[in-house]
């Protein structure tokens, strides 16, 4: 399905000077999928320099003239969706349904910034210090070379949702994807070049995070990172040493609230869709369900019915509802969390076991109750198909327990009353809150920024912020007549009095 010729062509895009390789795994079978090149720290330095050279030309291209490259990329993504899905599924083990949603996300990003970027990046007239006498403009200058580091769970979406605004803003990019999922990312990079991206502007390096990722953090002019909170802290510390900017999209332990007035069927269906997307290996997936006591029994029954109907399969078509976990490491974490909970008294309502007959890393969607604070899955991110349900007496308890976590990425609220849902949403400490949905509509609303509060991140993707973070603002102010240096003949005390008079006049006229 993925030919050797294709792998060789994609691997040619990697900045790697030696013949060292990594083997990646075909997740559905456990066999070897491909050998991908290994970059060294020296390769990273060269990639950054090459991107910098190309960026100096790209920065001189008008924003409106950069956009057509991304419009053509959009068309190529639509044309090659099935090939991307084949690689994505082999590398991650996700169902094709989940893969389709993933590949669609960058389409939204392109559509949004193609429309909005020219205006957002255009020089803005600002009020000068003194009306008429000072002219001030704010320019948006690209950072230079952006280092983008991405994880394995949504490798295609997370890479291109971040790369596209960085490039549109006039930057070069050096991308370090997770090694296991490098091929699907390289396929997208290849499409960007087919779409007319200037050669050298987007570089790819592959290697262990602590080696190649660190080299990138130590050389790029800005870091865009998606991954674990632990690595995010390390990157922030290193970037802080160099005083370069960064944005961090990190982990979550997301709550889903079913209020007393929820449409219980809609909540059960919506919860299944969001909790088990990509086998729960989605930073926005809920792992904690807080259900109002008035609808608790009804919700649990319907939720379990929906979970039990899910079709698990290693299928390269749209028949499976859920695919595999991506790695042995992830499978071990899930088993550890479930066994720990079981041993400490949790009740497994459904699931709770691996399914090796389907593939080496399959695990059943699992629903727990009676989960208590001493259990690992209570407040640690499992990042797998495991959710815990808690009964709550009222909204106040639901909100308090939802917020009782160090994370603050995403939350969901189900209620028939939009006003009620919005009232509760405003009390939740999460960067995104979905009402009557799990995670899709906020992600797809690219006009609004999204990201994490608390330990879930710094900075935002999407919205104006998701583009402008890749720029420096520059204030250019023109003194039209000499104001700051009084004429020699004027005693300085008189100058002070006249300036104070002017400031008083401006204040009274409410211009400032
Ligand atoms: P990691 O932090 O382990 O790795 C993410 C990326 O960072 C990988 O490319 C990795 O390389 C690299 N890396 C690892 N160590 C370093 C380092 N010291 N310096 C620079 N780069 C490094 O995360 P996971 O792969 O485990 O990804 C899962 C996590 O990501 C979960 O916590 C999840 O919640 C979070 N996530 C957050 C999202 C969001 O938008 N908020 C979206 C998706 C996931 P290598 O390939 O060598 O591991």
- Residue ranges and CATH numbers for the domains of the chain are 4-250+463-472 (3.40.605.10), 254-449 (3.40.309.10), 487-512 (no CATH)
Q: Answer whether 228 contacts ligand 1 (Cβ < 6 A).
A: yes
Q: Are 91 and 24 in contact (CB under 8 A)?
A: yes
Mean pLDDT of the 101-123 span: 97
Both tokens of 491, joined, read 């005693």
3-state secondary structure of 178: coil
* Other Cβ atoms within 10 Å of 195 Cβ, number: 17
Tens of pLDDT, residue by residue over 360-383, are 999 999 999 999 999 999 999 999
Q: What angle do CA 427, 432, 412 make, to 5 degrees?
A: 70
Q: For ligand 1, what atom is nearest to the CA of residue 207?
A: 47
Q: Answer whether 152 contacts ligand 1 (Cβ < 6 A).
A: yes
**DSSP category for residue 285:** -
- Which sign, positive or negative, has the C-alpha torsion 15, 19, 24, 26? positive
pLDDT bucket at 483, cuts 50 / 70 / 90: confident
Q: Which of 211, 212, 227 to mutate to test the pocket of ligand 1 (most atoms within 8 A of CB)?
A: 227
How far away, in angstroms, is 296 Cα from ligand 1 center?
A: 36
Q: Answer whether 226 contacts ligand 1 (Cβ < 6 A).
A: yes
How far away, in angstroms, is 101 Cα from ligand 1 center?
A: 21
Q: Which of 148, 209, 219 to mutate to test the pocket of ligand 1 (most atoms within 8 A of CB)?
A: 209
Q: Answer whether 402 contacts ligand 1 (Cβ < 6 A).
A: no
- pLDDT tops 80 at residue 245: yes
Which residue is catalytic, options 91, 102, 249, 306? Answer: 249
Judge if pTM exceeds 0.95: yes
Q: For ligand 1, what atom is nearest to the CA of residue 229?
A: 32
For residue 431, what are the CA distances in angstroms to 109, 250, 284?
19, 11, 10
In residues, how long is the chain?
Answer: 512
How far away, in angstroms, is 246 Cα from ligand 1 center?
A: 15
Q: Answer whether 287 contacts ligand 1 (Cβ < 6 A).
A: no
91 is catalytic: no
How far away, in angstroms, is 207 Cα from ligand 1 center?
A: 13
Q: For ligand 1, what atom is nearest to the CA of residue 227?
A: 30
Q: In this predicted structure, what is the pLDDT of residue 506?
A: 86
User: Can you give 349-387 as a three-state secondary structure string?
Assistant: EECCCECCCCCCCCECCEEEECCCCCCHHHHCCCCCCEE
- pLDDT tops 70 at residue 193: yes
Question: pLDDT: is 374 or 131 the higher one?
Answer: 374
How far away, in angstroms, is 217 Cα from ligand 1 center?
A: 14
Q: Answer whether 207 contacts ligand 1 (Cβ < 6 A).
A: no
Tens of pLDDT, residue by residue over 33-71, are 999 999 999 999 999 999 999 999 999 999 999 999 999
Tens of pLDDT, residue by residue over 73-82, are 999 999 999 9
């Amino acid at each position: 399905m993925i030919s050797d010729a294709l792998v060789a062509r994609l691997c040619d895009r990697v900045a790697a000077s030696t013949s060292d390789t990594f083997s990646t795994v075909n997740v559905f079978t456990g066999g070897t999928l491909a050998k991908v090149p290994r970059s060294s720290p020296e390769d990273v330095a060269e990639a950054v320099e090459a991107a910098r050279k190309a960026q100096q030309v790209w920065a001189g291209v008008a924003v409106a003239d950069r956009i057509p490259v991304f419009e053509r990329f959009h068309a190529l993504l639509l044309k090659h969706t099935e090939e991307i899905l084949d690689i994505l599924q082999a590398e991650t083990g996700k169902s094709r349904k989940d893969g389709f949603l993933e590949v669609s996300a960058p389409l939204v990003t392109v559509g949004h910034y193609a429309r909005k970027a020219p205006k957002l990046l255009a020089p803005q007239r600002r009020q000068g210090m003194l009306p008429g006498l000072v002219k001030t403009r704010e320019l948006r200058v690209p950072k230079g070379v952006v280092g983008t580091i991405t994880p394995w769970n949504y490798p295609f979406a997370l890479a291109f949702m971040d790369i596209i605004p960085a490039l549109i803003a006039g930057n070069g990019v050096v991308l370090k994807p997770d090694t296991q999922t490098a091929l699907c990312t390289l396929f997208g990079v290849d499409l960007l070049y087919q779409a007319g991206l200037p050669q050298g502007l987007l570089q790819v390096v592959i290697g262990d995070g602590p080696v190649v990722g660190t080299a990138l953090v130590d050389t790029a002019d800005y870091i865009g990172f998606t991954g674990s909170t632990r690595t995010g802290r390390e990157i922030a510390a290193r970037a802080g040493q160099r005083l370069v900017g960064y944005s961090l999209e990190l982990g979550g332990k997301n709550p889903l609230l079913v209020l007393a007035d929820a449409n219980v069927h809609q909540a059960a269906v919506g919860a299944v869709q969001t909790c088990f997307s990509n086998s729960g290996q989605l930073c926005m997936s809920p792992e904690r369900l807080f259900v109002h006591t008035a609808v608790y029994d009804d919700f649990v029954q319907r939720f379990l019915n929906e979970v039990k109907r899910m079709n698990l399969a290693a299928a390269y078509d749209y028949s499976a509802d859920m695919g595999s976990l991506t790695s042995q490491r992830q499978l071990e974490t899930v088993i550890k969390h479930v066994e720990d909970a079981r041993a400490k008294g949790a009740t497994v309502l459904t699931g709770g076991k691996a399914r090796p007959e389907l593939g080496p890393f399959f695990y059943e969607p699992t629903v727990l109750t009676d989960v208590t604070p001493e259990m690992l899955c209570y407040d640690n991110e499992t990042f797998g198909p495991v959710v815990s349900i808690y009964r709550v007496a009222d909204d106040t308890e639901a909100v308090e327990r939802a917020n009782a976590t160090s994370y603050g990425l995403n939350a969901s609220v189900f209620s028939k009353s939009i006003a009620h849902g919005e009232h509760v949403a405003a009390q939740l400490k999460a960067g995104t809150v979905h009402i009557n949905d799990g995670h899709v509509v906020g992600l797809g609303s690219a006009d609004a920024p999204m990201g994490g509060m608390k330990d879930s991140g710094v900075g935002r993707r999407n919205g104006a912020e998701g583009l402008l973070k890749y720029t420096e603002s520059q204030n250019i102010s023109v003194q039209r007549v000499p104001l700051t240096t009084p004429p020699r003949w004027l005693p300085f005390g008189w100058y002070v009095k006249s300036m104070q008079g002017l400031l008083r006049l401006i204040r009274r006229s409410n211009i400032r």
